[in-house]
Amino acid sequence: MFAAAVTSGLVLGGMYALIAMGLTLQYGVARIMNLAHGELMIAAAFAAFWLFTSAAVNPLVGLLLVVPAAFAISWAIYRLLLIPLVARAPNRDALEVDSILATFGMLFVIQGVMLVMFGGAYYSYSFLAFPVTIAGATVAANRLLALAFAAVIGVALYLYLTRTRLGTAVRAVAVDPQSAPLVAIDVRATAALAFAFGGALVAAGGVLVSMFLTFNANIGVVFTMKALIVVIMGGVGNLLGCLVAGLILGLAETFVATFVDPGLTLATTYAIFLIILLVRPQGLFGTASR
Amino acid sequence: MKPAFLLAAATVAVAVLATVPLYANGYQLSLAITLMNYTVLATAWTLFSGPTRYVSLATVAFFGIGAYTAAVLAERMAWPWILLIALAVGLAVALIVGLSTLRLSGVYFVIFTFGLAELIRQIVTWYEVNVTRTLGRYIFVGIDPADIYWQLLGLAVLVFAAGIVIRRSRLGLALRVIGDDETVARHVGINTTIAKVALFALSAAFMTLCGAVMAPRWTYIDPAIAFSPVVSFQVLIMALLGGVHRLYGPLFGVVPLVLLFEFLLARFPNHFSILVGLAFMLIVYAIPQGIVGFVERMVRRKGEAA
């Protein structure tokens, strides 16, 4: 039971980390606090579900369709809907408030569209749902696969950000958007890129999660919240922090669900969030700045 | 306008509003209750979020706490006691939330309030399922819609009175400084945390009471009804449409939007959330200062042109 809790905690934590990496890119680089983040994830989950059940498309192939689409959609959202907010905001705080409000509206629009299309029922599909035994624990193959994919995507993102020119530009904007133009970085284009990458990541998370979790049109909010908590726990803009915090959250939730009561997982999340806020508000790996 | 005149006008307005249940029919009274309900909630929201510019997404958390407390205690004690206990619970939660998040930058507060209603809903559900073993409660108290309306009207008067008193007090000035620039506020010696937490608790107290008063409107209540996130969303959009930098601003958002939502719910029940979301985005993009701010700017521009 213990080993099972650890493995499923790691899988869940890996998903949280992946989703939170998307959010930390959007918030850390583009300065957009995106409350519709989880909605995009659930939309991707529904897309994978629809592709699998009606067109018999393997979710891993679906990933190749859904993720680029999410990238394009997020890029368009930033260029069309968020640039006006960036342009009118006198400072960073004002942009934060405006982006919270705008994405809060988007949340209800996207959720409403999904409710119209799929209703409020829970959905799931069966893909690679056979058990695999690893180190004494039995796990469904689809969960392991999801974790492996999350790890690959995470590593790829990390290498991209640290090893390429474009990735370095993204990090430069995160550190200091005022100085970045001095070294010929187009801040808006870079921010749009980061925002689009965030959307692509969360869509990947949605497709992977849809392979082993049941989901419905209303559940995105919960994922947004957990992603926000992971981002703050890890320190805003810190990918490694996201990974560690995501795993901590996933493990803590699974342990509480296994050994205490499944109804208390969200309470656990909040308890962790409270402790972080009280003890280390800048996050586990963040530096005290504001 | 002289204060005495304004006071007299407000008194007359309240007196006229108080007579509504005497001649309104069932539908009109229920519409009046909805209007009054959102007036209290949106004004209470503005009380805190207007001057400090901290966006609270947790209106329904407090509203639901009030409603649920009233539902649990409904047949056990007299109504005033129920209101007092609901108030105490709401205040306690507000203090916990405020003290843990308002010391920090505003984003933490927003994030915390974003999930607060969901958290409380799950805890209440867990408690009901595991401890009392009943999910959902029936409320039978001898309170008819007219009583609810009058209580809400009383609450509305209290919210406005509190808002006016605070605006003229040192606390009100402190909050406006915080809203303009928090660093400056700290440097001129304002204890920003205490000021913010005090006002947040006050605002939450009104929301909790509003929920408790509204509870008898439903004869059946369960956590999903009491903590529906749509309420937080509607309060936010109404306050923003009206304008949050004036105490009376939300009124100008509440009246048109309650009527609009009433119409939308009747005509497009399935697309309600999409339409409300679009209306919200329209407000955020087109009139960020709200109707009151928009009108004030027009008037000022006209004054300059003349």
Q: Where are the domains of chain B?
A: 3-228
- Distance to chain B for A1, nearest Cα, Å: 23
pLDDT number for residue B306 = 57
> What residue numbers bound the domain in which A128 lies?
2-279
Interchain CB distance below 8 Å, B281 and A112: no
Please answer whether residues A78 and A32 qualify as being in contact, where contact means their C-beta atoms are separated by less than 8 angstroms. Answer: yes
pLDDT number for residue B232 = 86
* Alpha carbon B6 to chain centroid, angstroms: 24
Which residues partner with A133 through β-bridges?
A: A138
Tens digits of per-residue pLDDT, B246-285?
A: 888 888 888 888 888 888 888 888 888 888 888 888 888 8
Is residue B1 predicted with pLDDT exceeding 70? no
Q: What is the mean pLDDT of the segment spanning A80-86?
A: 86
Is residue A239 predicted with pLDDT exceeding 60? yes
Q: What is the mean pLDDT of the segment spanning B163-173?
A: 86
Question: In chain A, which residues have their Cβ closer than 8 Å to the Cβ of B98?
Answer: none
Please answer whether residues A22 and A199 qualify as being in contact, where contact means their C-beta atoms are separated by less than 8 angstroms. Answer: yes
Please answer whether residues A8 and A139 qualify as being in contact, where contact means their C-beta atoms are separated by less than 8 angstroms. Answer: yes
- The answer to whether residue A284 sits within a structural domain is no
> For residue B289, what is the nearest residue in chain A, using CA coordinates?
A98
Residue A272 tokens read as 């962790």
ipTM over 0.90: no
A253: which residues sit within 8 A by CB, 6+ positions away?
A: A9, A12, A265, A268, A269
Residue A61 sits in a domain whose CATH number is 1.10.3470
Interchain CB distance below 8 Å, B126 and A102: no
* Alpha carbon B93 to chain centroid, angstroms: 16
pLDDT number for residue A290 = 40
Interchain CB distance below 8 Å, A105 and B288: no
Location of structure tokens 């819609």:
B145
Q: Is residue B179 within 8 angstroms of chain A, CB to CB?
A: no
Percent of chain A with pLDDT over 70: 97
- The answer to whether residue A111 sits within a structural domain is yes
- The answer to whether residue A287 sits within a structural domain is no
Q: B72-102 in b/e burial notation, b at 16+ Cβ within 10 A?
A: bbbeeeebeebbebbbebbbebbeebbbbbb
DSSP B180-233: H-HHHHHHTT--HHHHHHHHHHHHHHHHHHHHHHHGGG-SEE-HHHHT-HHHHH
Q: What is the mean pLDDT of the segment spanning A131-136?
A: 72
- The answer to whether residue A179 sits within a structural domain is yes
Please answer whether residues A110 and A38 qualify as being in contact, where contact means their C-beta atoms are separated by less than 8 angstroms. Answer: no
Name the residue among B125, B276, B284 with its Cβ closest to that of A108: B276
Tens digits of per-residue pLDDT, A176-227?
A: 878 888 888 888 888 899 899 999 999 999 998 888 888 888 888 889 988 9
**Testing the interface with A: which of B100, B114, B125, B128 to mutate, by most A Cβ within 10 A?**
B114
Distance between CA atoms of A41 and A47, rounded to whole angstroms?
Answer: 10
Distance between CA atoms of A36 and A45, rounded to whole angstroms?
Answer: 14
Name the residue among B101, B240, B280 with its Cβ closest to that of A277: B101
Portion 195-224 of A in contact with B at CB < 8 A:
221-222, 224
Is residue B3 predicted with pLDDT exceeding 80? no
> For residue B284, what is the nearest residue in chain A, using CA coordinates?
A102
Portion 262-301 of B in contact with A at CB < 8 A:
270-278, 280-281, 284-285, 288
Location of structure tokens 């018999």:
A56
* Better-scored residue on pLDDT, A286 or A244: A244
Q: What is the mean pLDDT of the segment spanning B42-71?
A: 88
Q: Is residue B106 within 8 angstroms of chain A, CB to CB?
A: yes
- The answer to whether residue A289 sits within a structural domain is no
Q: Give the gyration radius of chain B's Cα atoms.
A: 20
Provide the number of structural domains found in chain A: 1
Q: Is residue B123 within 8 angstroms of chain A, CB to CB?
A: yes
Distance between CA atoms of A188 and A269, rounded to whole angstroms?
Answer: 34
Is residue A289 predicted with pLDDT exceeding 60? no
- The answer to whether residue A12 sits within a structural domain is yes
Distance between CA atoms of B94 and B98, rounded to whole angstroms?
Answer: 6
Look over chain A and give the mean of its residue pLDDT values, rounded to a whole number.
85
- Distance to chain B for A130, nearest Cα, Å: 32
Identify the CA nearest to B201 among candidates B76, B64, B55, B89: B89
Distance between CA atoms of B100 and A249, rounded to whole angstroms?
Answer: 20
Residue B191: other Cβ atoms inside 10 A: 12
Is residue A288 predicted with pLDDT exceeding 70? no
Under DSSP, the state recorded for A264 is G
Location of structure tokens 């497009």:
B268
Question: In chain A, which residues have their Cβ closer than 8 Å to the Cβ of B104?
Answer: 277, 281
Candidate from A81-95, B13-27, B131-145, B163-177 with smallest mean pLDDT:
B131-145
